[in-house]
Amino acid sequence: MSLLRLEAVTRSVELPDAPPLEILKGVDLEVAVGDHVSVVGRSGSGKTTLLNLLGLLDTPTSGQIVFDERPVSQLGSRARDRARGSDIGFIFQQFNLLPGRTALENVMTPLLYATGRQFWRRRQLAGEMLERVGLGERMLSMPEKLSGGEQQRVAIARALVRGPRLILADEPTGALDIDTGASIMALVDEVAEQSGAALITITHDANVAALARRHYRLDKGVLTAVDVTRVLAMAAPEVSL
């Protein structure tokens, strides 16, 4: 079952006294429920622009994005906000935790915009998610008292607490050492699989990208499917992207 589909999507920016700058060029991508897809590309390849489109934060210049079998162009800004808040979880490289708030309060934050049982059970749900990522004993700790790996686990718990159907991981291990990054990605994949969520990992790290089940390369705005052997070859320093 298709959850998200991009059809011939382009994104360009108008420049004064110059032709438009083409950032994405005819991108086609289909992500099914429970899928794990990686997109690897260098800085400047269009990864951030693609992430904004996948997360319903932006709209394409041309082409079509279909989320849950409904064209996003048919959704108003409020409907996109609701879909993003309830169905999409974001995991960022820099964690983006709220200073002066405990780990529990950080994870509770998305539930302040929930309704019904999720809102009234927000403290319980946040605590259960922190337990799930191995931070049950650190719930009342402030972000500055947590290690980088622990902060990323809080960020993961915050992204997953509303039970999103799509998880977007943007350079999720970029601020971590290799061993911690590997354990973090294993955790994200495990939680996504258990919940049946689709996971899209956008990264410049070919080793992280190789952990997915389907792999893509983004180069100068062009998205191309590649096999895992090609992804791992990208990690070799002598091989140019």
Report pLDDT for 241.
41
How far apart are alpha carbons 79 and 47 in whole angstroms?
A: 25
Could you tell me the residue range of the domain that residue 214 belongs to? 2-98+166-234
* Within-domain flag for 226: yes
Q: Provide the residue-wise pLDDT of the chain in tens; the chain has 241 residues.
A: 789 999 999 999 998 888 889 999 999 999 999 999 999 988 889 999 999 999 999 999 999 999 999 999 999 989 999 889 889 999 987 888 999 999 999 999 999 888 899 999 999 999 999 998 889 999 999 999 999 889 989 999 999 898 899 999 998 888 778 777 788 888 888 888 888 899 999 988 888 888 899 999 999 999 999 998 888 777 655 444 4
* Within-domain flag for 171: yes
Report pLDDT for 191.
82
* Within-domain flag for 152: no
Strand order in the sheet with 88-92: 88-92, 166-170, 198-203, 36-40, 214-219, 222-226
Contact 107, 130 (CB under 8 A): yes
* Within-domain flag for 200: yes
* Within-domain flag for 170: yes
Contact 216, 226 (CB under 8 A): yes
Q: Which of 56, 64, 124, 55 is nearest to 90 (CA)?
A: 55
* Within-domain flag for 57: yes
How far apart are alpha carbons 211 and 181 in whole angstroms?
A: 12
* Within-domain flag for 143: no
Report pLDDT for 239.
40
Pairing label, strands 2-15, 18-32: antiparallel
Q: What is the CATH number of the domain that holds 7?
A: 3.40.50.300
* Within-domain flag for 150: no
Report pLDDT for 238.
42
Q: Using the structure block, give the residue that is written with the tokens 């210049």.
A: 61
Helix (H, G, I), strand (E, B) or coil at 29: strand
Read out DSSP for 190-239?
HHHHHHT-EEEEEES-HHHHTTSSEEEEEETTEEEEE-HHHHHHHTSTTS
Report pLDDT for 114.
85
For the record, the structure tokens of 126 come out as 């946040």
- Domain count along the chain: 1
